[in-house]
Structure 1
Amino acid sequence: MRNLVSSSLPKLPSSEMAAAAGGVALALGGWWEEVNGSPAWQDGAFFSLSAAYALVSAVALVQLIRIQLRVPEFGWTTQKVFHLMNFIVNGVRAVVFGLHAHVFLFQSKVYTLVLLELPGLLFFSTYTLLVLFWAEIYHQAKNLPTGKLRIIYIAVNSFIYVIQVCIWIYLGITDNPLVELVCKIFISVVSFVALLGFLIYGGRLFFMLRRFPIESKGRRKKLYEVGTVTAICFTCFLIRCIVVSILTWFLLLSSCVFFFSTLKHF
């Protein structure tokens, strides 16, 4: 049967196959250039992202209201603060994508960088708060002290925001491309810290829950929830870390090439 099928297929010369592959590549390249240069396609993509983030923000707000109505006596718990921050960070992203046409029109480049990078910092604070919530559960289950966890969370976030604000202030004073590289390296390090947090405490909580019998539906659901959220958040921060690192290396190489080319002219 294999011989019959192979003999029935038309055999193209290698040159024709290469030409066909080249034609497909040119067609895809032309399609991408058309999409990349089309304001209508770009507006559609940005407005779709804005709508998606607005939907996630609305869901977080609804969850916050539901929890507050169900247990108002507990005050601002970690879970409520998480939903509030999730509402804020996705709302900010929705506004930035919705007003994308005005984001790059500032006279000073630092304002554009603030609008583009601030949601990433808020995203880091939001999901490291989830890591804090899991760490508190894990420490309580193991009879370990939990008092220093919140202090560590506040200290790490305060340090990151202070460093980022200092970078923004310096870029506002002097537009230095080297500082932009430092900023991207800093964002990559921040993403790496977040993925480590999810790997350590998400993994610990997941394997701790697996040791208990999971006959009950609620415990099985919690195990699935912790495992899924840990895998998704770890993957997201890992991809962000890799993409920013690759972009940083490209910018660094292009800066080095430009530097050596200018030296040759002298």
Structure 2
Amino acid sequence: MRLPQLDPTQLAFDLPDWWREIDASPAWQRGAFDGLAVAYGALAIVALVQIVRIQLRVPEYGWTTQKVFHLLNFLVCGLRSGVFAFRYQVQELPYAVVQAGLLDLPGLLFFSTYTLLVLFWAEIYYQARSLPTGSLRPAFVVMNLAVYAIQAALWVFCSVETGGEGTQLGRELSGCFLAFVSAAAAFAFLLYGGRLWLMLRRFPIESRGRRKKLREVGLVTTICATCFLFRSVIVAWSTFDYEDADLDVMGHPLLNIIYYRCVVGVPLFLANWVSGATDYT
């Protein structure tokens, strides 16, 4: 017996009329992207201020994990702000590979930023358990290089495919890959954040530093894992429901506000707030 094929359009949601009216409003479209550009620009400035503050406080340490973390945050927010500010121009770029790179690169840098935080937690956990840590950083570098290489190959595939089916296949593969990467990041947060949190619970309860770190690790782990998992779901949805959930077009301002303010903006704000009082040497 032949199984019926799944039509991606069957995954579409029946959005309410008021949502569609907002999507069709030019004022909402302009306001949403202008507001996101300002918000991400502010986060980029905060990250840059953090780098300068750390450099002035401890200039002898060089490029610590904390500085690299804030540098990646600055790049993510700066690129996002620029793309939002010039969204019309980006959408009209003649080269598909350049357009895809500008739209997807901030998401890849976002992944690198928070896997760097997971790496920092993993190193703390391994050192506390007297386990070897020599393979952690090479694994982090190799994993990130592999993610960037695969995504770059998908960009090239989408740009050279001129047929409708080939372009759609490349888009779906790219979306599924980015959704998988986000789900993997959520799993990494739960794995190493959970391990570090359980380890901190075993410290003496009267330790003030222990209580603070326990609260920070628990908060960051919960929020970041939830946001990355939700990000995975939204990216997968937008991959197969172009009409209602495409994040790369001007026509979905409300979805873009929810996605970029909550799923991406909250972890960035939280990380800037927590790491301001944390020394990632």
Contact 1:189/1:241 (<8 A) preserved: yes
Q: How many residues align?
A: 225
Contact 1:79/1:133 (<8 A) preserved: no
> Which residue matches 2:72?
85
> Which residue matches 1:159?
146
Within a 5 Å distance, the mapping from 1:119-198 to structure 2 comes to: 119-175=106-162, 176-198=167-189
CA RMSD of aligned residues (A): 1.9
Q: Which moved more, 1:167-176 or 1:189-198?
A: 167-176
Q: Which moved more, 1:87-96 or 1:211-220?
A: 211-220
Q: Match for 1:93: what amino acid?
A: R
Say if 1:44 and 1:157 are closer, same or farther in 2 by CA, change over 3 A. same
> Which residue matches 1:99?
86
> Which residue matches 1:227?
218
TM-fit CA distance, 1:35: 2.1
1:51-96 residue CA offsets vs partner (Å, 9 max, x unmatched): 1111111111111111111111111111111111111111111111
SS in 2 for 1:215: coil
- Output the CA distance in 2 between the equivalents of 1:40 and 1:250: 24
Relative contact order (C-alpha < 8 Å, sep 6+): which is higher?
Answer: 2
> Which residue matches 1:4?
none
- Output the CA distance in 2 between the equivalents of 1:32 and 1:93: 24
Matched, 1:247 2:253: no
> Which residue matches 2:98?
111
TM-fit CA distance, 1:250: 4.4
Larger radius of gyration between Structure 1 and Structure 2: 1
Q: Which moved more, 1:161-170 or 1:118-127?
A: 161-170
TM-fit CA distance, 1:241: 1.1
> Which residue matches 1:47?
34
- Output the CA distance in 1 between the equivalents of 2:199 and 2:188: 16
TM-fit CA distance, 1:195: 0.9
Residue identity over aligned pairs, in percent, reads 55
> Which residue matches 2:9?
none
Q: What is the TM-score with the length of structure 1 in the denominator?
A: 0.80
TM-fit CA distance, 1:47: 1.1
> Which residue matches 1:75?
62
- Output the CA distance in 2 between the equivalents of 1:198 and 1:230: 6
Contact 2:69/2:117 (<8 A) preserved: yes
1:209-262 residue CA offsets vs partner (Å, 9 max, x unmatched): 1111242333222111111111111011100111222334547xxxxxxxxxxx
Q: Match for 1:100: what amino acid?
A: R
The answer for unaligned runs of 5 or more in structure 1 is: 1-25, 252-266
> Which residue matches 2:12?
none
Q: Match for 1:220: what amino acid?
A: R
SS in 1 for 2:135: helix
Contact 1:96/1:115 (<8 A) preserved: yes
Structure 1 runs (4+) deviating above 4 angstroms are none
Q: What is the TM-score with the length of structure 2 in the denominator?
A: 0.76
Say if 1:103 and 1:230 are closer, same or farther in 2 by CA, change over 3 A. same
Q: Which moved more, 1:109-118 or 1:85-94?
A: 109-118
Q: Match for 1:218: what amino acid?
A: G
Contact 1:46/1:100 (<8 A) preserved: yes
1:135-166 residue CA offsets vs partner (Å, 9 max, x unmatched): 11111111111111000000000011111111
TM-fit CA distance, 1:109: 2.9
